[in-house]
């Protein structure tokens, strides 16, 4: 952060006599609301008076909105971790039960009932779950400190404050972790309760139990249903797609996991043979152990399968998002180059003199920019961008839904996207009231065109002539350039880099 004298900032930004914010303190005996009302009475229509509580509430709401996305992502990973963890818990307790078969058989021989053995295993799971959950809560607190430091390092402007650990957070973490552990141990505990003293003291281990017919039929049905939902999700709308894909993936995992023991013996027998030959006795023991306990091997592989699938899924999603963004820009932009401010552009990130400087470069045959601002429509704030009616269609594509794209410069004409038109029930030819807060003027605008939003065009659109009238402080967010005839892409890029050397905040 840099601090300057007020007069210096006003002069450099061309805002002499203007302020972004004004703070006022109430005299003794004057309440915040009373002061707010008095100040509001003397303000123009485009300015707003707010109490300290209102401003703090808006800032908190903005921070909460920012962390809402992060919270959702972490929640998804938490659910996946619980899902994978349940597999690991089942497998771990199954191994422990197998190793303690003789111990459990001795308890049965001494008079312990099946119910007592069942409750014994559940009690062990309860103690393990409580201890592990407590460790998880403490680890989560350290992770929160790490995330806070990481977000702060990105320049988010978060205030320095101690992290708050709500009692509800501890309770939810402890209860959820313990319940998952206990529930996941039910099947191993049930198996332990069925240990017979006579069978358990035998020298030979139990033979692998084949899958029951009901499990095979159910596994096939769930797998087919999951695959069907995934196929439907690939062709569904955005909202339904995530639900169908998520549910389909879950069912597919469950179905494949239930059928996986059928594949362990042939896979371990085939792929394990060369491993046994290469690794000697350890390799042969591993191969034999997998064949002897296919359910246990399948449970272990299921957890690994979910982890690998998650990594692959995220990689595919990231690459798909990049490819989709690239295609969307290619379809929306006709210009050869785009210039915008680092960090996303917008909010006056580009000086108006930059466009004029680039227009003087002979490497470019045409240079234009898009400006942005804020308007009030039906009392609600909305974004508007301005384009030159004479040549804007040479620089970007306007996907017209209805109306005349050539009518932008016809007086008080406004374009808007299909979403805004649908939300308000407007059509081409309708006259709407638009307030321009920058000058405090309300204007009747005629809808000349309705377009489908894309990567460039969204919200409302007016001509540069109207923009110059109603926005005394221009905010350029994108500069579009077309190369001159005979200029190669490499030469144009080199010229652009040279021209922008004096503007390090642009790219």
What's the 3-state SS for 270-304?
Answer: HHHHHHHHHHCHHHHHHHHHHHHCHHHHHHHHHHH
280 φ/ψ sector (left φ>0, alpha ψ -120 to 50, else beta): left
Q: What is the pLDDT of residue 134?
A: 93
User: What string of DSSP letters covers 202-262?
Assistant: -SSPPPPPPPPHHHHHHHHHHHHHHHHHHHHHHTS-HHHHHHHHHHHHHHHHHHHHHHTHH
Which three-class secondary structure state does DSSP give residue 361? coil
Q: What is the pLDDT of residue 460?
A: 93
Tokens 């000349």, located at residue? 448
At residue 461, what are phi and psi to the nearest 5 degrees?
-140, 130
Which three-class secondary structure state does DSSP give residue 185? coil
Which three-class secondary structure state does DSSP give residue 341? strand
Cross-strand pairs, 506 = 341
* Tokens, residue 459: 């919200």
Alpha-carbon gap, residue 417 to 407, rounded angstroms:
15
Torsion 125-131-135-138 (CA) sign: positive
Alpha-carbon gap, residue 233 to 313, rounded angstroms:
15
Give per-residue burial for 407-420: e unless 16+ CB within 10 Å, then b: bbbeeebbbbbeeb
Whether residue 456 contacts residue 424, with contact meaning beta carbons closer than 8 Å, is answered with: no
Whether residue 337 contacts residue 496, with contact meaning beta carbons closer than 8 Å, is answered with: yes
**CB burial class (10 A; 0-12, 13-18, 19+) of residue 255?**
buried
At CA 500, angle to CA 463 and CA 496, rounded to 5?
Answer: 85
Other Cβ atoms closer than 10 A to 332: 17
Closest-CA residue to 414 (of 395, 393, 394, 428):
428
Alpha-carbon gap, residue 239 to 241, rounded angstroms:
6
Torsion 310-311-313-314 (CA) sign: positive
Which three-class secondary structure state does DSSP give residue 449? strand
pTM for the complete prediction?
Answer: 0.59
| Longest CA span, the chain | 97
* Tokens, residue 111: 């008079």
CA dihedral angle for residue 166, residue 171, residue 174, residue 175, rounded to 10 degrees: -150
- pLDDT by residue for the chain (507 residues), tens only, comes to 577 787 777 776 656 677 778 888 888 888 888 888 888 888 776 677 888 888 787 777 767 776 777 778 888 888 888 887 887 888 788 888 877 878 888 888 888 888 998 999 999 999 999 999 999 999 988 888 887 787 777 655 566 667 778 888 899 989 999 999 999 899 888 888 888 877 656 654 555 567 778 888 998 999 999 999 888 888 776 667 778 888 888 898 888 888 888 888 888 888 878 877 777 888 888 888 788 878 778 877 877 887 788 788 788 878 888 888 888 888 888 888 888 876 544 444 687 778 888 888 899 988 888 888 889 888 788 889 999 998 888 888 888 999 999 999 888 999 999 999 999 999 999 999 999 888 888 899 999 999 998 878 888 999 999 998 998 878 888 888 888 988 898 898 998 888 888 777 777
In sequence order, which residues have a C-beta less than 8 Å from that of residue 398 and are 6 or more positions away? Answer: 392, 405, 415, 449, 451, 457
Other Cβ atoms closer than 10 A to 451: 21
Alpha-carbon gap, residue 151 to 157, rounded angstroms:
9
Whether residue 480 contacts residue 367, with contact meaning beta carbons closer than 8 Å, is answered with: yes
Cross-strand pairs, 31 = none
Alpha-carbon gap, residue 341 to 506, rounded angstroms:
4
At CA 123, angle to CA 119 and CA 125, rounded to 5?
Answer: 115
Tokens 């799971």, located at residue? 125
In sequence order, which residues have a C-beta less than 8 Å from that of residue 458 and are 6 or more positions away? Answer: 383, 417
User: How distant, in Å, are the alpha carbons of 136, 261, 469 from that of 297?
Assistant: 27, 8, 73
Domain-by-domain residue ranges, the chain?
A: 6-50, 84-206, 337-502
In sequence order, which residues have a C-beta less than 8 Å from that of residue 241 and are 6 or more positions away? Answer: 233, 234
**CB burial class (10 A; 0-12, 13-18, 19+) of residue 387?**
buried
């Amino acid at each position: 952060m840099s601090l300057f004298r007020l007069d210096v900032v006003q002069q450099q930004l061309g805002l002499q006599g203007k302020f972004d914010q004004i703070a006022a303190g109430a005299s003794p005996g004057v309440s915040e609301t009373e002061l707010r009302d008095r100040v509001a009475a003397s303000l123009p229509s485009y300015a707003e008076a707010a109490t300290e509580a209102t401003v703090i509430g808006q800032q908190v709401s903005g921070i909460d909105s920012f962390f809402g996305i992060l919270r959702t992502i972490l929640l998804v990973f938490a659910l996946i971790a619980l899902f994978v963890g349940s597999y690991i818990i089942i497998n771990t307790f199954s191994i422990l039960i197998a190793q303690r078969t003789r111990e459990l058989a001795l308890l049965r021989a001494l008079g312990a009932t099946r119910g007592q053995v069942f409750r014994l295993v559940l009690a062990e799971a309860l103690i393990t779950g409580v201890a592990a959950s407590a460790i998880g809560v403490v680890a989560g607190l350290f992770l929160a400190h790490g995330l806070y430091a990481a977000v702060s390092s990105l320049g988010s402007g978060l205030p320095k404050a101690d992290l708050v650990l709500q009692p509800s957070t501890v309770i939810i973490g402890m209860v959820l972790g313990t319940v998952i552990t206990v529930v996941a141990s039910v099947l191993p505990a049930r198996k332990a309760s069925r240990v017979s003293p006579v069978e358990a003291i035998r020298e030979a281990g139990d033979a692998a139990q084949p899958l029951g017919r009901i499990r095979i039929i159910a596994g096939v049905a769930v797998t087919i249903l999951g695959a069907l939902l995934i196929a439907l999700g690939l062709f569904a709308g955005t909202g339904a797609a995530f639900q169908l894909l998520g549910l389909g993936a879950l069912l597919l995992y469950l179905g494949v996991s239930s059928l996986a023991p059928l594949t362990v013996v042939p896979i371990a027998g085939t792929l394990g043979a060369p491993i046994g030959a290469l690794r000697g006795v350890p390799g042969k023991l591993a191969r034999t152990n997998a064949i002897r306990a296919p359910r246990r091997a399948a449970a272990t592989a299921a957890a690994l399968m979910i982890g690998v699938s998650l990594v692959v899924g995220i990689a595919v999603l990231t690459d798909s998002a990049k490819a989709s963004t690239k295609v969307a820009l290619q379809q929306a932009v006709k210009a050869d180059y785009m210039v915008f401010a680092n960090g996303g552009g917008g909010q006056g990130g580009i000086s108006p003199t930059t466009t004029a400087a680039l227009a003087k470069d002979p490497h470019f045959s045409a240079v234009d920019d898009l400006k942005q601002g804020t308007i009030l429509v039906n009392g609600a704030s909305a974004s508007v961008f301005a384009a030159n009616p004479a040549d804007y269609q040479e620089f970007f594509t306007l996907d017209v839904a209805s109306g005349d794209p050539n009518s932008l410069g016809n007086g008080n004409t406004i374009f808007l996207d299909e979403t805004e038109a649908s939300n308000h029930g407007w059509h081409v030819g309708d006259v709407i009231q638009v307030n321009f807060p920058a000058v405090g003027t309300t204007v009747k605008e005629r809808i000349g065109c309705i377009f489908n939003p894309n990567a460039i065009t969204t919200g409302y659109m007016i001509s540069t002539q109207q923009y110059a009238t109603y926005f005394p402080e221009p905010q350029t967010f994108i500069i579009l350039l077309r190369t001159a005839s005979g200029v190669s892409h490499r030469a144009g890029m080199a010229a652009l880099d040279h021209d922008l050397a004096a503007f390090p905040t642009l790219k």
